[in-house]
Structure 1
Amino acid sequence: MRVIEIEGGAGPAEALKLAERPDPVAGPGQIRVRIRAAGVNRPDLLQRNGGYPPPPDASDIMGLEISGEVDQVGEGVSRWSVGDRVCALLGGGGYAEYAVVDARHALPIPDGLDFFQAAALPETVFTVFANVFEAGGLKSGETLLIHGATSGIGVTAIQMAKAAGTRVIATSRGAAKAEAARALGADVSLDATTGDLAEAIQAAGGADVILDMVGAAYADLNQQALKPGGRWVVIATLTGPLAQVDLLKLMMKQATLTGSTLRRRPADEKARLAAAIEATVWPWVASGAVRPPVEATFPLAETKLAHLRLEAGEHVGKIVLTV
């Protein structure tokens, strides 16, 4: 099968190369998927640069989410059959023509979605559900503040939060992105490049839950933005991991600061998340309430261009490889 490898083990996008490897074989409890599309995410960039190695039991090939058809079923798998259309969460291996998947980590592609849209779902939906709804405890009637609201995670978070009956404050860089976040459903959409962002968030009423992908630069702002009993959830640190936190302020607000990664969670935990997402989020996807936009698609052989597009930071929504 064709795959994308990182020449030299790490490096800039120019180090990505098309290569061939043996087709994988589905083992017990696994399915093999003929990949039609694969999502491109920031963890892929980190892995390419040597900063996010795969777990010991995962493929060293990049790619954390895919869509396609089941073409091989391993021993002990009863839910899936050859030909089923699925999307799936991976620990790695998505930048290829085939991938083996823990059968419990696959979800059916709802009617009306093509492979490109379906490939844009698993990594982002799992991340938002685990962090915003489980760790953050977001409930109907509360307010979610999303930084980086036009990223792949951000657009998914906007739609899932609105589907759950919550209010959304979105921040993004530039007037065009702010308008895009508003069009996706954000109740308040702020351009982070103009005016006093902290003051604007306070004027909008503050947040019960903050989904933070920015990190250090927004630490003080987030502490101000939290309502009493608020939950600040960190899932990325694009401006650095070292932040100054006023513990007394968090104590006085009875606030919670938490964070997590998804890739290294145990297989059983990912299976639990998949079942919860299918029960809670998949009806929103089927109804069209959650349908993250695909900003651009690139053939597998042009993965370098997809990485450059993601690194430029001008996209709104997801970037997807076609296989």
Structure 2
Amino acid sequence: MSQTMRAIDIKGGAGPIEALHIAEIPRPKPTGAQALVKVKAFGLNRMDLLQRIGQYPVPASAPKTLGVEFSGVIEELGDKPERSFKVGDEVFGLAYGGAYAEYIAVSTHMLVHKPKELSWEECAGIPEVWITATQAMYLVAHFKPGNSILWHAGASSVSIAGIQLAAADSATAVYATARQDEKCQFAVDTLGATAAFNTETQDWVAEVLKATDGKGVDIIIDFIGAGYFQQNLSAVARDGVVVTLGLMGGSKLKEGTDITQLLIKRVTYVGSTLRSRDEEYQGKLRDQLVEHALPKFKDRSFKLLIDKVLPWEQIQDGHRLLEENKTKGKVICTIS
């Protein structure tokens, strides 16, 4: 086997979309619990855009190559892999980086056997978004059946997963927000949300309070950050939880922000990330995904929505699609 491989690289180490190109780099060698996977497809995520321009802190042990989710075939194993994996197995998984490449070395603790019912492209779009939604909803927000929940950016990949998870696990109500009527309708008609509100044309806080008889929602999963901080405090219920997963609306609070409701409502406001978590933590999330979500992927109870599939030679087009913020579902690249 060649000691090199092709991978997406960034000219100058960081830069605009035009800096993305395919280059020849050393092929990784699996050690310990790792497997070397020949990549069939990989998913694109918003963190990739930030990492490309040098604004996303990458774990120290991660390769500089972009990409955290993939599907492919195991070609080699380290000396201490999980017993259930062998050379030739079709898998998908989550990594700390390196998925934009022909090969990736990744812990077997973060691999899942690919079901025959799912395509390579579908599997490549599962790990990051479904595990992130699972983490935010259960481990961080401590969701229980009977809770109500609101997912901001309702047509984003994580919210697509989260809305379905909440609806399937007996939430009393599942709300969503989006910036387009089409995306709001999509959240309700396709994903099963109770209601969705257009943040451009509606007072979404007033709509949430109206829908909940003034109580507010028990859990809010937020990707906007500072831009929705004040409104989240108004929309969350007493003893509610707000989980911040992104800062699309900025990181600096507006002058005059009033945190009184944080105290009066006893709100838990917490930030969370997945990529910086250790392997043991991520492995537990993988197990939870396999137990609760994988059967529903296989029987199609859960929808795996892909907006666009591109050959990896068109990686620049994939990043443009994410930056335009018009997608409903994953953007996937394939390697032939």
Post-superposition offset of 1:15: 0.7
- Once residues 280 and 243 of structure 1 are traced to their aligned partners in structure 2, the CA distance between those partners, rounded to angstroms, is 37
Q: Secondary structure at the match of 1:21?
A: strand
Deviation of the 1:156 alpha carbon: 1.1
Equivalent-residue separation in structure 2 for 1:255 and 1:25 (angstroms): 47
* Cα distance between partner residues in 2 of 1:276 and 1:180: 27
Contact 2:42 2:124 in 1 (8 A): yes
Give the aligned partner of residue 218 of structure 1. 228
| Contact map agreement 2:9 2:65 (CA 8 A) in 1 | yes
Q: Is 1:185 aligned with 2:192?
A: yes
Where in structure 2 are the equivalents of 1:170-319 lying within 5 Å? 170-182=176-188, 183-205=190-212, 206-243=216-253, 246-319=258-331
- How far residue 46 of structure 1 moved from its aligned partner, in angstroms, is 0.4
Matched AA of 1:136: A
Contact 2:183–2:328 (Cα < 8 Å) also in 1: yes
Q: Distance in 2 between matches of 1:111 and 1:225?
A: 43
Is residue 137 of structure 2 the alignment partner of residue 125 of structure 1? Answer: no
- Residue 73, structure 1, aligned to residue 77, structure 2: yes
Q: Aligned partners of 1:282, 1:228: CA distance in 2, in Å?
A: 34
Contact 1:297–1:322 under 8 Å retained in 2? yes
> What is the CA distance between 1:290 and its match in structure 2?
2.3
Given residue 237 of structure 2, which amino acid in structure 1 is its aligned partner?
A: K
Amino acid at match of 1:200: E
Q: Which residue matches 1:14?
A: 18
Q: Kindly state the Cα deviation for residue 14 of structure 1 after the two structures are TM-superposed.
A: 0.5
CA contact 2:44–2:333 (8 Å) conserved in 1: yes
SS of the residue corresponding to residue 251 of structure 1 reads: helix
Q: Which amino acid aligns with 2:139?
A: E
- One-letter amino acid of the structure 2 residue matched with residue 185 of structure 1: G
State TM-score, norm by structure 2.
Answer: 0.93
Does the residue aligned with 2:26 lie in a helix, a strand or coil? coil
Instruction: String of CA shifts for 1:234-272, please: whole Å, max 9, x gaps.
Output: 000101112366443122212211111111111222122
Q: Which residue of 1 aligns with 2:7?
A: 3
The answer to which of 213-222 and 90-99 deviates more is 213-222
1:55-66 to structure 2, matched below 5 A, reads: 55-66=59-70
Where does the alignment leave 5 or more consecutive residues of structure 2 unmatched? none
**Larger mean Cα displacement after TM superposition, 265-274 or 29-38:** 265-274
- Larger CA deviation: 89-98 vs 101-110: 101-110
Corresponding position of 2:49: 45
TM-score, with structure 1 as normaliser = 0.96
Q: Distance in 2 between matches of 1:276 and 1:112?
A: 20
**Secondary structure of the structure 2 residue equivalent to 1:254:** coil
Aligned partners of 2:221 and 2:114: how far apart in 1?
27
Runs of 4+ off more than 4 Å:
none
Contact 1:117–1:291 (CA<8 Å) still a contact in 2? no
CA distance in 1: counterparts of 2:167 and 2:45, whole angstroms: 23
Decide whether the 8 Å contact of 1:161 with 1:168 is kept in 2: yes
SS at match of 1:153: helix
**Identity in percent:** 33
Letter in 2 for 1:104: H
- Partner AA of 2:309 in structure 1: T
Letter in 2 for 1:26: P
Structure 2 matches for 1:156-167, cutoff 5 A? 156-166=161-171, 167=173
Q: Which moved more, 1:195-204 or 1:37-46?
A: 195-204
Separation of aligned partners in 1, 2:167 and 2:295: 14
Answer whether contact 1:39 1:66 (CA < 8 A) is retained: yes
CA contact under 8 A between 2:230 and 2:259: conserved in structure 1? no
Pairwise CA distance, 1:150 = 0.4
Aligned-pair distance for 1:13?
0.4
Unaligned 5+ residue runs, structure 1?
none
- 1:73 corresponds to which letter in structure 2? L
Amino acid at match of 1:190: F
Partner Cα distance (1:231, 1:287) in 2? 32
Query: Which letter maps to 1:23?
Result: R
Matched position secondary structure for 2:91: strand
165, 175, 184: which is aligned to 1:169? 175
Preserved contact between residue 5 and residue 18 of structure 1 (Cα < 8 Å): yes
